[in-house]
């Protein structure tokens, strides 16, 4: 099982953080988005419940500076030092950051992070859905897709 950096990318306010919070809630078995905020960056030890030993999820922001800080946090915790680790990051981008790293500073940070750890980047586009009910369903569907990457 190769190390992975899953990049949830999309425009401003399209639900990247909300989707990652749903993933955290699913993994921890808790409900209620009020439990988690946009300021979280955490590592979950799965204790054999998943194919991945440790799951890192950053919901702290999707700009270049935020992504850089998230990667620094994961480096301090030695995430991706194990072969079965996986990281989830959000990236604000109108184009797939993995195919346009030269023109996207966020993508450059992610690419450098993945390269340092010999990890595979897995891009996942998050589109904004309207009306609000569709937005919630869109986040839930995306969370299920991301969870499958861990299992």
Instruction: Tell me the per-residue pLDDT of 67-86, one tens digit each, with 9 for 90 and over.
Output: 999 999 999 999 999 888 99
Q: What is the model's pLDDT at position 80? A: 93
5 located within any domain: no
8 Å CB contact between 98 and 107:
yes
Q: Indicate the number of domains in the chain.
A: 1
Domain contains 15: no
| Residue 1 counted as domain residue | no
pLDDT at residue 134 in the model: 64
Look at residue 54 and tell me if it is in a domain.
yes
Domain assignment present for residue 2? The answer is no
Q: Is residue 133 part of a domain?
A: yes
pLDDT band at 58 (very low <50, low <70, confident <90, very high): very high
pLDDT > 90 fraction of the chain, expressed in percent and rounded:
29
CA-based nearest residue to 90, from 77, 107, 76 = 107
Say which residues have a Cβ less than 8 Å from residue 125's Cβ, sequence separation at least 6: 9, 10, 96
The secondary structure element, H or E, covering residue 121 is: strand 120-125
The span from the first CA to the last CA of the chain, in angstroms, equals: 11
Q: How far apart are CA 68 and CA 109, in angstroms?
A: 6
Question: Is residue 55's pLDDT more than 70?
Answer: yes
pLDDT at residue 133, rounded to an integer: 54
Structural domain containing residue 77: 20-150
Q: Report how far residue 67's alpha carbon sits from residue 90's, in angstroms, rounded to the nearest whole number.
A: 8
7 within a domain of the structure (yes/no): no
The three-state secondary structure class of 111 is helix
CB 56 within 8 A of CB 101: no
**Per-residue model confidence as pLDDT tens digits over 87-139:** 999 888 777 766 665 568 888 899 999 999 999 999 888 877 655 556 667 77
Asked whether residue 86 is domain-assigned, the answer is yes
Report which of 37, 52, 47, 46 is spatially closest to residue 5, judged by C-alpha positions: 52
The C-alpha atoms of residue 16 and residue 14 are separated, in whole angstroms, by 6
């Amino acid at each position: 099982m190769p190390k992975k950096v899953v990049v949830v990318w999309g425009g401003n306010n399209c639900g990247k953080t909300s989707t990652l919070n749903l993933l955290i809630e699913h993994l921890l078995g808790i409900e209620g988005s009020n439990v988690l905020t946009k300021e979280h960056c955490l590592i979950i030890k799965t204790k054999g419940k998943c194919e991945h030993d440790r799951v890192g999820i950053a919901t702290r922001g999707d700009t270049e500076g935020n992504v850089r800080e998230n990667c620094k946090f994961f480096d301090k915790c030695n995430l991706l030092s194990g072969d079965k680790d996986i990281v989830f990051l959000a990236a604000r981008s109108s184009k797939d950051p993995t195919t346009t790293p030269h023109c996207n500073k966020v993508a450059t940070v992610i690419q450098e992070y993945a390269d340092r750890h010999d990890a595979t980047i897995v891009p996942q586009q998050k589109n904004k859905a309207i009306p609000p009910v569709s937005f919630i369903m869109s986040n839930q569907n995306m969370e299920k897709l991301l969870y499958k990457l861990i299992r």
